[in-house]
Chains A and B, each alone.
Chain A
Amino acid sequence: ELKVEQNPLFLSMQEGKNYTIYCNYSTTSDRLYWYRQDPGKSLESLFVLLSNGAVKQEGRLMASLDTKARLSTLHITAAVHDLSATYFCAQDKEGGSEKLVFGKGTKLTVNP
């Protein structure tokens, strides 16, 4: 059974600071996803990581995948208020139905 655990669940940080959100998963699937959700809105795809060592960057966000450690990280560089949202990581099982199993999410608040 796929399990995905994120930490921290809540993160309050100041603008300009750096921080990392961690996502541990339970199986050896090589596919890991990061989504952003604003309050009352749907999920916006940020990154799809498909292989060990994959690193993707978009603006102030960088995601990486270590399949041996079953760990993905989402690193925030020089946070700005607009990054305030809830971030979810999710995993699926290649060759299965491709249903996504989500973590509980990390609610990020960036304070001025």
Chain B
Amino acid sequence: GAGVSQTPSNKVTEKGKYVELRCDPISGHTALYWYRQSLGQGPEFLIYFQGTGAADDSGLPNDRFFAVRPEGSVSTLKIQRTERGDSAVYLCASSIPGGVEQFFGPGTRLTVL
């Protein structure tokens, strides 16, 4: 079956620009997570959605980062006024209601020049 998909796979932008990263979870998975992975590090949690609402956004580094999931399926991570330090791979994961296992997408590699 189809797994978690993310688009684009790569995004190169200039400092100060706005970017949107998209995640399409596995069908029927109500929980959706965003993580950020810097080079040589483990993924770091950003935000968790249960359905349409953000249940935990404690990992968002600052107010330049925002995520939405308006219909409870696809989610978009939005980064305003990008900085070079935002360069990383952004991973999305989803899980079934009450499930313990998270299934990860292929990630979007963001490079801010």
Residue positions of A touching B, CB distance < 8 A: 4, 31, 33, 35, 41-45, 48, 50, 88, 90, 92, 96-105
Contacts and interface: CB of A to CB of B under 8 A. Distances in A.
Interface in B72-91: 91
B101 A48 contact: yes
Interface residues of B, number: 24
Contacts of A41: 106
B112 to A, nearest CB: 19
B65 interface: no
Main secondary structure of the interface of A (DSSP, over half): loop
B42 A97 contact: no
Nearest to B33: A99
Contacts of B100: 31, 48, 50, 92, 98
A104 B37 CA distance: 10
Given A43-B93, A100-B45, A105-B42, 7 more contacts: A42-B106, A88-B43, A97-B55, A97-B56, A99-B56, A100-B33, A102-B42
Contacts of A99: 33, 45, 48, 56, 59
A44 B56 CA distance: 24
A90 B104 CA distance: 13
Nearest to B45: A99
Contacts of B103: 45
Nearest to B56: A97
